């Protein structure tokens, strides 16, 4: 997205981030999201608010052969973390409550840990299997779904960052952007945002000047930190 001045289909920028609608279609080669040879050991720092109750994936990383290597799925009352094809662990946590959620998911070795409340709360889950050590650099990264025909995650994203797992997961709030720390007290006013999307497909792709700063957030929606 860094070379594009236009908003991806179905994505609406707002003050603190972007909103993914049912029409969102965001897919990219893994090599453009994560450094070559990236391990499945990593730390996800998330700040988001679900707008629709469904079983959508927040994201999925699939190999060139279309096998799921990594993914996070939100179902009512649970967060499911996939580390390998048909291999997963789950946490009892409800994202679909209309509230903002700041959290970190740490995948390290055979353990997946969910951190909330700035690290004051943590829940561990053991994988009980040997996971892939590296992600396929020729694979694909899909945001908001597991494939192009599945249900789409609908909601607001303030932060979605990927770090090497060597980062201190229990201090994940140190990595939260300032606007995301205030996210639970900020509610985007949706109606005025809708006109930001072109209504006419033949309309000029030029971006209104006051919208340009908002689009900068799309460049950093997925941040892959360099290996430590």
- CA 163 to chain centroid, in Å, comes to 13
In a domain, 133, yes or no: yes
Provide the domain count of the chain: 1
In a domain, 111, yes or no: yes
Q: Which of 75-79, 88-92, 168-172, 204-208 has the lowest mean pLDDT?
A: 204-208
Q: How large a percentage of the chain has pLDDT more than 70?
A: 77
In this prediction, residue 125 carries a pLDDT of: 95
| 204 compared with 105, residue with greater pLDDT | 105
In this prediction, residue 181 carries a pLDDT of: 83
Handedness of CA 86, 91, 92, 97 (dihedral sign): negative
In this prediction, residue 164 carries a pLDDT of: 84
Which residues does 194 contact at the CB level (< 8 Å), separation at least 6? 12
| 208 compared with 111, residue with greater pLDDT | 111
Length of the chain: 228
In this prediction, residue 201 carries a pLDDT of: 41
In a domain, 215, yes or no: no
Question: What tens digit of pLDDT does each residue of 122-162 get?
Answer: 999 998 887 777 899 899 999 999 998 899 999 999 999 99
In this prediction, residue 148 carries a pLDDT of: 85
**What six digits make up the tokens of 65?**
């052969």
In a domain, 45, yes or no: yes
DSSP class of residue 52 equals S
In a domain, 224, yes or no: no
In a domain, 17, yes or no: no
In this prediction, residue 142 carries a pLDDT of: 94
Residue 226: pLDDT band with limits 50, 70, 90: very low
Question: What tens digit of pLDDT does each residue of 5-16 get?
Answer: 567 889 999 888
In a domain, 16, yes or no: no
- CA 55 to chain centroid, in Å, comes to 15
In this prediction, residue 166 carries a pLDDT of: 80
In a domain, 225, yes or no: no
| 125 compared with 208, residue with greater pLDDT | 125
CB 80 within 8 A of CB 133: no
Residue-wise burial string across 195-223, b where 16 or more C-beta atoms lie within 10 A, e elsewhere: ebeeeeeeeeeeeeeeeeebbebbeebbe
Question: Which CATH number goes with the domain that contains 111?
Answer: 2.60.120.200
The residue segments making up the domain with residue 144 are 26-184
Quick one: which of 144, 47, 64, 44 has its CA closest to 104? 44
**What six digits make up the tokens of 117?**
């409340």
Question: What tens digit of pLDDT does each residue of 158-207 get?
Answer: 999 999 888 889 899 999 999 898 654 444 444 433 333 344 444 333 33
In this prediction, residue 37 carries a pLDDT of: 79
Question: What tens digit of pLDDT does each residue of 20-75 get?
Answer: 999 998 999 998 888 877 888 999 999 999 999 999 999 999 999 999 999 999 99
- CA distances for 123 relative to 79, 99, 106, angstroms: 12, 20, 10
Write down the pTM of the prediction: 0.78
């Amino acid at each position: 997205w860094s070379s594009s001045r236009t908003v991806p289909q179905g994505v609406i920028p707002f003050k603190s981030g972007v909103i993914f609608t049912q029409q969102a279609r965001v897919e990219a080669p893994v090599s453009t999201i994560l450094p070559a040879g990236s391990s499945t050991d990593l730390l996800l720092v998330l700040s988001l608010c679900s707008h629709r109750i469904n079983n959508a994936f927040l994201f999925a990383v699939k190999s060139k052969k279309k096998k799921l290597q990594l993914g996070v799925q939100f179902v009512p009352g649970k967060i499911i973390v996939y580390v390998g094809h048909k291999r997963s662990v789950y946490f009892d946590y409800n994202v679909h409550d209309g509230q903002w959620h700041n959290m970190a998911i740490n995948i390290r070795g055979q353990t997946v840990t969910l951190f909330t409340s700035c690290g004051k709360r943590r829940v561990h889950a053991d994988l009980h299997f040997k996971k892939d050590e590296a992600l396929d650099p020729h694979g694909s990264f899909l945001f908001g779904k597991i494939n192009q025909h599945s249900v789409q995650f609908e909601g607001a994203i303030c932060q979605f960052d990927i770090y090497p797992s060597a980062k201190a997961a229990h201090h994940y709030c140190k990595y939260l952007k300032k606007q995301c720390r205030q996210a639970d007290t900020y509610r985007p006013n949706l109606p005025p945002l809708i006109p930001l999307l072109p209504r006419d497909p033949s309309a000029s792709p030029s971006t209104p000047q006051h919208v340009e700063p908002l689009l900068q957030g799309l460049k950093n929606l997925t941040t892959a930190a360099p290996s430590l």
